[in-house]
Every structure is written in C-alpha cells, then in structure tokens.
Chains A and B, each alone.
Chain A
Amino acid sequence: METLSLYVDRDSPVHRVDPISKLLYILAATAIPIILPSLLTAAVVLAISVALLLLGRTFRRVIPLISVIVFVLLTILIIQGLFRAGNVTPLFQLGSLIFYREGLLYAVRISLRVINIMLAFAILILTTKPSDLFETLVRKGLSPRIGYVLSSVLQIIPQMQNTVGTITDAQRSRGMETEGSLAVRLRAFIPLIGPVVMSSLTQTRERSIALEVRGFSAKGKKSFLNEEIQEPYHRFIRWGLLLSIILALVWRVAA
C-alpha cells in the first residue's frame, strides 16, 4: 500500500529518538544560527545535521534535495556577490565581473541558514513515521480532528489516485483516447472531473459517517493503543536542545 510519505524505514538511533525532540532540533537548528550569526555556528549546525542524517542512514535521500537547494543558493551567491548594496571589498574577479566579500559572506550565511532548516526538517521527516509524529502531537494537545486529517490525507490521496486510474481505465476501455498530446490528455481529463469529484464527495461523507459511528466525536479523553515511548535519554535530548538555545541567547546578550 502506497502512502504519501518520505519516511525511510530503518533501524537507527536517530529513528528511535522521539518526534518532539526532533521538532525541538528543528527549532534549535533554526534559532541558534540566527541568534549567533557567525559562520562558525552555522557550519557546526550543518555538520551536526549531516552527521545525524548519516547516523540515521538516510543521507542519500537528501542529496536530490540538497542539489536543488545548492542550485538556488548558487544563484543567490552570484547575485549578492556581484550586486549587493554595501559591497566594498573586492574578493576576486572573473573576467570583468568583480565579486565582493560582503555580498558573498551575506549569501553564504543565508544559504547555510536555509540548508540548516531544510536538513533539520529532513531529519524529522525521513526518520519519523508520520503516524507517530501526528499521534505524539495529538498527545501533546493537537486537536484529534487535525491529527486525523493529517494522517488520513497521506493514505487517502493515493487511494483517490487509484480511483482516477480506475475511471481512466473505464473510459479507455470505452474507446476514449487518454494518451498522447496535451490536447488529447486534456480532453480526456475533463470528463474525468465529474465522476472523480462526485465519488470523492460521497466517499468523504461516508467516511465521516464511519468516523462518527466509531465515536470520533466523543468528548471524553481519548486513549492510545501505542504506548508513548519514553526513554530517559529523550528527556536529556530535549533539555539539551532547549538549553543550547538558551545558552546561545545568553552568549549573545553577554558578548
């Protein structure tokens, strides 16, 4: 069964860390380089993220992501290096183009920040089962309705794609052209909209009935089949991350 999820099922220490700690890591990896805007801070965070991805055996999955980001960031680098207002110190010259130190440094800092945020999110998304993440959030007070929508969307969208597939097959078997030029595809797509929308609406209504009869609207406290995995070291990680953010703030104020 396909679900819309980037989760990579591995057994690694990173996978075993709880979702809240990973969320806090995103917070830390975003906040600390802003609080302490030196390149060194950003580089250290980057190194930690890469290490965690390697430890989680999911680094390969972020390579495509990184290459897209690098492409975008290179553009920023070039533009800022050449044209940023406040560029005064020439660094090097390519033909007639002069790259300036200020612009380049600025671009590097921004780039590192973006990469850091992306990688921190990647750690969460690649090493956490979506259902675990959502369940944890519901435990922490997220509305069960939102939790339901988040987790069911990942499964129900592929199911709807299947419905589209079935209807397309039906139309094809009745002799309708569904492949070929864009115009042909478009012509095949339009009569699809009706049945797909209708069946999705009925399905949505039926599914909300199914939820109702399973007591989804009950006002009492919900419980969870899965035990909340609480390792002592999770606490340690969370406090460590919070503490590092606080330390960064103190450092900033003191310095």
Chain B
Amino acid sequence: MKKIIVDNLKYRYPSAQELALKGISLEIEKGQFIGVIGPNGAGKSTLCQALVGLVPHFYHGAYGGSVVVGGLEVLKSEISALALKVGLVFQNPFTQVTGAKLTVYDEVAFGLENMGLDRAEMIERIDRALTLLDIYRYKDRNPFDLSGGQMQRLAIASIIAMKPQIIVLDEPTSQLDPQGSEEVFRAVDKLKSEGMTLVMVEHKIEKIAEYADKVALLSGGELVDFDRPIRVFSRPDLERFGVAAPVYTRICRDLKIKDEKTGLYPITLEGAVAAVGSLE
C-alpha cells in the first residue's frame, strides 16, 4: 500500500528566486524506511516539510505538482489534519518543546489536547509513547531540564502519541552529542521494528545503510536517485553530491571486495563480513 505519493513536486519559497524543489516524484510504501541524503541546500528539509504540509501552508510560496500522504492531498488539507497522518521531528530538540507545559507528561499531552481526545485515551497514549521512547521515568520533570537526547526523544514521543502512520525525521541527531545521538538512533530502531513508515534525513550515512529500505539522493532540488541503499551507495559519482559512502563500502572498494551475488560493494559491516567470507 502506498503511504506517500509525490508527483512532480515543484516549490519555491516566497523570498527565493530559485526553486527549492524542481519536480520531485517518488512513492513510498507502508512500513518502508526511506533515507534521504544529499548536500546542504539540496532541498531535503523542504521535501520533509512538504510531506507534512508546512510547505506550502506554513511558508506559502509557489507550489506545483502534488503530494498525497496517508490518502490526504496535502494541498487541500490543513496542517492539523495532516498531523494525524504524518509527524515531523526536526533538528533542534529545544524548539520542539512547546514551552507551555511544565512536565514531560503534559508536554506529550499538548498534541492530544489539540486533537480533543478524552482523558483516558490521552493517558493510555502518553504512557505508551513515553515507555516506547524510554523516558517514562522523567515524566514529572520539566522538559527544559532534560538532556538533548532526552528532549529529542520527548519530541518523538509527542509525535508518536498522535499515532501518525508516517514519521518524518529531519536530521534528528545533528544537534546532539554522541550519547544523545545513540539514544535517538535506538528510538528510531524501535519505531522501525514497530513497522512504522519512516522518512529520515541523516548525515551519518552508516545509519542510513543500516536502516533504509530505499535511499533518496537529492541535489540542487532534484531527485538524483531513489533506489536500494546498496545501489545508491555504489554510485561512482556519489562523492560529487557531497555524500561519502559508508565506511565499509569505502574500505571494500579500496580492497576491491565485492558482494558475489550482486557484484556491488557492501554497505554494512555484516555485508562486508559476508563478502570477505565468500572470498575464501
């Protein structure tokens, strides 16, 4: 089942001369994990915001083509309606805290209150989300007193509690220290094993190699490639797009160790071990 259909999406910010997205088309199936990579300014964040309707409803600007998410046509739907289908988590954990709530527990409730859920339903969802993100024990803390990694997990929990079918993560670890990043990746692991449809922009390419079913490579507002990670990462011109292949791919390429079956360079540690094993 298709969860996201982007068809020839073109978009220009109101203050900009150039298109930030120049005719993107892609389809994402239920339960898939899509990694989004590309250099700075490629349009990754813009694409993310187009999936949740911030583009065009929040930013305005010039919009062409169409995006359908969870059955809703973005252009014709309000952000609050889209929020029930697709959630967004972005870089800065601090600005994702509403500031209106005094505890972690109440912070998660914010979105649910806006949905008008009844109390029992809210409590059930909040408990579940906090447990899933492993921050239940901080439920009575002030959100601003959490560490970066905890705060970012709170942001994810707040989105999860709204039960969207899809979660978009735009560089969720880029402002975190290594420990915080690890915490967030562990959370992403969990979401993936829950079978959520996920779209994640991430510079730590090894993580994309580990999780992604497909990788979208963006550059200059265009979709350069949209394929299985092993295919995208073995592009000889990858570095031209400001993306370094995963470390295992680079090592295997230097050593000319290819996967026997595919004839491509492995992208994960497991893949590399298997490829080396098949040499003997």
Which A residues are closer than 8 A to B by beta carbons? 1, 3, 129, 131, 147-148, 151-152, 155-156, 159, 202-203, 206-227
Contact = CB atoms under 8 A, between A and B. Distances in A.
B99 A214 contact: no
A131 B95 contact: no
B100 A148 contact: yes
Nearest to A148: B100
B220 to A, nearest CB: 24
A225 B100 contact: no
A221 B122 CA distance: 15
Contacts of B101: 131, 151
Nearest to B108: A225
A247 B51 CA distance: 61
Interface string B135-147: 0000000101100
Nearest to B86: A213
Contacts of A151: 99-101
Given A213-B87, A215-B84, A218-B80, A223 B118 contact: yes
B106 A212 contact: no
B269 interface: no
Nearest to B80: A218
B58 to A, nearest CB: 6
A206 B52 CA distance: 14
B80 A215 contact: yes
Q: Which 4 A-B pairs have the closest CB atoms?
A: A218-B80, A214-B111, A206-B95, A152-B99
A115 to B, nearest CB: 32
Nearest to B84: A215
Contact of B119 (A202, A210, A216, A225): A225
A81 to B, nearest CB: 48
A44 B18 CA distance: 71
Contacts of A203: 92, 94-95
B68 to A, nearest CB: 18
A225 B58 contact: no
A214 B98 contact: yes
A209 B81 CA distance: 15
Contacts of A216: 80, 110, 114
Contacts of B123: 225
Contacts of A220: 115-116
A40 to B, nearest CB: 42
A224 B113 contact: yes
A225 B87 contact: no
A215 B142 contact: no
Contacts of B245: none
A223 B109 CA distance: 10
Q: Which of A152, A155, A225: most chain B CB closer than 10 A?
A: A225
A209 B123 CA distance: 25
B88 interface: yes
B158 interface: yes
A159 B116 CA distance: 29
Given A156-B99, A216-B114, A223-B116, 15 more contacts: A1-B144, A155-B99, A155-B144, A203-B92, A206-B90, A206-B92, A208-B58, A210-B95, A213-B83, A213-B87, A213-B88, A218-B116, A219-B80, A221-B116, A225-B105
Contacts of B100: 131, 147-148, 151-152, 155
A213 B54 contact: yes
A215 B115 contact: yes
B270 to A, nearest CB: 35
A218 B115 contact: yes
27 contacts: A3-B102, A152-B98, A155-B144, A156-B99, A203-B95, A206-B95, A209-B58, A209-B90, A210-B96, A210-B98, A210-B155, A212-B80, A213-B54, A214-B83, A214-B110, A214-B114, A215-B79, A215-B83, A215-B115, A216-B80, A216-B110, A216-B114, A218-B81, A218-B114, A219-B78, A219-B80, A221-B116
B99 A223 contact: no
B87 A223 contact: no
A215 B106 contact: no
Nearest to B115: A215
Given A206-B95, A223-B122, A217 B79 contact: yes
Contact of A213 (B79, B117, B142, B144): B79
Contacts of A147: 100
A26 B45 CA distance: 50
Contacts of A215: 79-80, 83-84, 111, 114-115, 162
